[in-house]
Amino acid sequence: MLDSFPRHLALTGACNFRDLGGYPGKDGRSVRWRQLFRSNHLAHLSGEDIAVVRGLGLRSAFDLRGVEERLSTMCCVDDITVHSLPIEPAIMIALRDRLMAGKPLSAAETAELMRESYRDFVQNNTKAFRALFGHLLEDHAPLVIHCTAGKDRTGFACALILHALGVAEATIVEDYLLTNRHYRLDDATARTLPLPPDITAVLVSVEDSFLAAAFEAIRTEYGGLDAYFADGLGLSPQACCELEARYLER
């Protein structure tokens, strides 16, 4: 597939800033370029980065970080309206509890904690994703969705969006895994993760099994994706058509 625009924007202060455009969606209509972006946090953008972001016409940012988590790294672009849709970092809470209890931790166990955190998106945080889709149905584009690393909460949110637009599952997973190519742990975040390298490597990467765990939880809790869209995210058939009209090429 030939991209009309660069998918990854090489910003100095946001290494995982990407465009969701160009993917084939429902009825062969592609996702519109330069409307939906995903990223890690936007607190460390350089002056040149800010000029790029402003050039994209970004109007809104949807911040999925927890309440305290976001306080030290707020968006530094004054003319972007930030909407906080907090999802607490379940993986970090689980790690802290385990370490405080003096329990040993392996890379395999860390990966399972990651999968459990993805299940938690569905089981305990659907309200935040429902609110996000409510915003997507309003006039906020071009917009960016982000968390701290732009890989887990943001990754699941963007997978849901692409599913709603009819993008093939294999393509959605491919987009999700691009984080492994682009994300690099910044020094400030690294200081909050005083962990062995094999544990840190799991925490700063993504695996298809992580995303699969969230969709497994959807099947368990709701019976399937269509029911989750309707009952969990509150998307009527008309709302789904409106999303397609907004974010797919005409």
pLDDT 10s digits, 158-175: 999 999 999 999 999 999
Within 8 A by CB and 6+ apart from 71, the residues are none
- Give every strand in the sheet of 36-39, ordered side by side: 18-19, 36-39, 143-146, 60-63, 81-84
Give residue-wise pLDDT tens across range 87-101. Answer: 998 888 888 888 788
In a domain? residue 166: yes
Question: pLDDT exceeding 90 applies to what percent of the chain?
Answer: 79
Please name the residue that has the structure tokens 């949807």: 62
pLDDT, tens digit, for every residue of 222-233?
Answer: 999 999 999 999
| Least confidently predicted of 7-21, 32-46, 100-114, 116-130 | 100-114
Expressed as residue numbers, the domain containing 114 is: 18-247
Is 9 within the bounds of a domain?
Answer: no
Q: Identify whether 1 is part of a domain.
A: no
Residue 4 lies in a domain: no
Q: Are 29 and 45 in contact (CB under 8 A)?
A: no
Q: Measured between alpha carbons, how far is 126 from 42 in angstroms, rounded to an integer?
A: 24
Structural contact between residues 132 and 232, judged by C-beta atoms closer than 8 angstroms? no
Decide if 112 is inside a domain.
yes
The pLDDT value given to residue 3: 52
Average pLDDT, the chain: 93
pLDDT band of 244, cuts 50, 70, 90: very high
- Find the catalytic residue in 15, 75, 76, 147: 147
Structural domain total, the chain: 1
Note if 147 is an active site residue: yes
CATH number, domain containing residue 219: 3.90.190.10
Q: Does 10 map to a domain?
A: no
Q: What is the pLDDT of residue 72?
A: 76
Q: Is residue 13 part of a domain?
A: no
Q: Sorting pLDDT into bands at 50, 70 and 90, what band is 181? A: very high
The top-scoring range by mean pLDDT among 41-45, 72-76, 115-119 is 115-119
3 in any annotated domain? no
123 Cβ contact list (under 8 Å, min separation 6)? 217, 221
